[in-house]
Amino acid sequence: MRISASKWFSSGTPFVWLNAGAVAISILMVVGLLGLLAMRGMAHFWPADVMQANYAPPVSFGSVMTTEVLGEKVETESVSSIQIASSGIPVDESIPYYDRELVKLGNRDVTGADFAWLLSSFLSDIRYPADVVALERREWGNFYGFLADVKESGQRVIDADQGEDALWAEFEQRLSRALEIHDEIYRIEKIEIGEVNYALERLRLRQRGLELEGAFDAEVEASFAQQREELGADYALLQQDLVVLNQAIERDSALFLAANDAEVEIEFADIVRAYKPNQMGFVDKLFTYFAKLGEFLTDEPREANTEGGIFPAIFGTVMMVLLMSVFVTPFGVVAAVYLREYARQGLVTRAIRIAVNNLAGVPSIVYGVFGLGFFIYIIGAEVDQLFYPEALPAPTFGTPGLLWASLTLALLTVPVVIVATEEGLARIPRSVREGSLALGATKFETLWRVVLPMASPAMMTGLILAVARAAGEVAPLMLVGVVKLAPSLPLDGNYPYLHLDQKFMHLGFHIYDVGFQSPNIEAARPLVFATALLLVIVIAGLNLSAVALRNRLREKFKSLEV
């Protein structure tokens, strides 16, 4: 039995297939995006083999310049011979395309550049020597070379006739020692000296506050002087420990032979990790991969954010979103309850709803300008005058910080929470309210014990949408608190523990900074993909937590069909 085209269209079947196709395409696009981010970002941490080769490009017709190349192959692409010739390299233009390799040479302190594009046709004698060493350094990026000697205070510690294995064992032993000393130095500088400096600053502010109140007499001055002296003594002891540790870590160095027989001496204090990638099997590389990935997730950034980790950005993003959620939920819910339950439904109420809906479409940078002008320059300045006069003229809350960033994003997302909560309140049957009132409950008791619990899944839906938008915003944060590199986390062990006035790092701004402000684009590119993937995972984790809570609430009130 054949069905006519008109009946087929009127049945709605084509639109069902159209919607199914659109959903399938959307899913494929999302999976493809995540796959691209994972492939381009996560592959960066894999310890690739190091190639050694001769490179002899023509500098003019009939003459070539041969150099030795030592580095990792990153990617290969084809370019037209016309494009290559226009760059000054004489090539045979009868060949339409040439392959070229992007090679990570490292050794930026020697060559001046981390990466180089090399034409595959001019690479020869390609080999992968087993004894080549890859170093990750605290400065100047990676280094590739051959270990030639290990020195202590400038003197050789291993004889040449003891062999390469003994030399490498000595190198690893001294590197392990240097890393332990570096961790101790970091602990003293960041934690112990940081605590002393924080205590000295609080003591200075307390003294200034008493001076402004006229209560700083001789007895108080003597007490403050004693405390300052004790803190100074602690600081001096820590400085002595630092001097000893710095002398110990600077004692050892290693001599390497880089490409073209260049000798480079590197102190162990500058090395983060060392390995021989061409000798490593799959399991060894896997362990190194997860070690590098763990460092990326838990360490602080270095080298203009193109090396190291992004933990401060992860922490700042999550902290800001949690604070924003604390601020936006009560404001959004109270506004929605008033509009739906208490306000007289008329022209003014309809105008307010239209204004709320329009606020959701305002560009985010406008909220950033408002937050800078109102929260920081007006509210923050008044807070400093009332509660922190001893710190002036240096502002405490009259400058961008975590509190103002969270409030700005709460203002940005409050229309979403209002609309979602109103929708949830509108779905509650009128009979539920009337039944509660008939049983003797007041309107507020009905609202608090019946209506709001039943509407809680809708509130969580609004919060999920708010979190999804706020976590990825960058433009307003650039005005109200986010920075390229924060010296400390906004949550630490120093009173009052949560420092709402501090500036913070954010994953979205970190992507912008690394991708568009980095002086080393090739080194920054994989970190952009990895950080973008991590931002998606963080947002998904926050959303899934809210979704789980919403589903639990929905199951609790399932019998009421909310």
| Mean pLDDT score of the chain | 88
Distance from C-alpha of 439 to C-alpha of 488, rounded to nearest angstrom? 56
Residue in the structure block whose two tokens are 């270990």: 147
Q: Which conformational region is residue 125 in: left (phi greater than 0), alpha (psi within -120 to 50 degrees), or beta?
A: left
Distance from C-alpha of 42 to C-alpha of 303, rounded to nearest angstrom? 19
What pLDDT does residue 495 have?
84
Token readout for 271 is: 């090395």
Token readout for 439 is: 């049983």
Residue 232 CB-half CA count within 13 A: 6
Token readout for 351 is: 């105008």
b/e code 33-65 from CB counts within 10 Å (16+ = b): eeeebeebbbebbebbebbbbebbbeeeeeeee
Q: Is 240 exposed, middle or buried (CB count within 10 Å of its CB: 0-12, 13-18, 19+)?
A: exposed
Degrees to nearest 5, angle at CA 534 with 531 and 540: 145
pLDDT, tens digit (0-9, with 9 covering 90-100), for 401-422 = 999 999 999 999 999 999 999 8
Which ranges constitute the DSSP H helices of 299-346? Answer: 311-337
Whole-prediction pTM: 0.90
What pLDDT does residue 147 have?
93
Token readout for 127 is: 């080999």
pLDDT, tens digit (0-9, with 9 covering 90-100), for 167-211 = 999 999 999 999 999 999 999 999 999 999 999 999 999 999 888
Long-range contacts of 195-202 (CB under 8 A, 24+ apart): 195/493, 195/494, 196/231, 196/234, 196/235, 196/238, 197/235, 198/494, 199/231, 200/228, 200/231, 200/235, 202/495
pLDDT, tens digit (0-9, with 9 covering 90-100), for 526-537 = 889 999 999 999
Residues β-bridged to residue 77: 100
Token readout for 425 is: 């309140």
Helix (H, G, I), strand (E, B) or coil at 118: strand
What pLDDT does residue 2 have?
59
Q: How far from each other are the two terminal CA atoms of the chain, in whole angstroms?
A: 44
What pLDDT does residue 562 have?
41
Dihedral angle, C-alpha 233, 236, 240, 242, nearest 10 ° = 120
For residue 83, pLDDT beyond 80: yes
**Residue predicted with more confidence, 235 or 216:** 235
Q: Which of 370, 361, 313, 317 lies closest to 484 in space, CA to CA? A: 313
Give kind and range of the element (H or E) at residue 227.
helix 218-249
Residues β-bridged to residue 63: 60
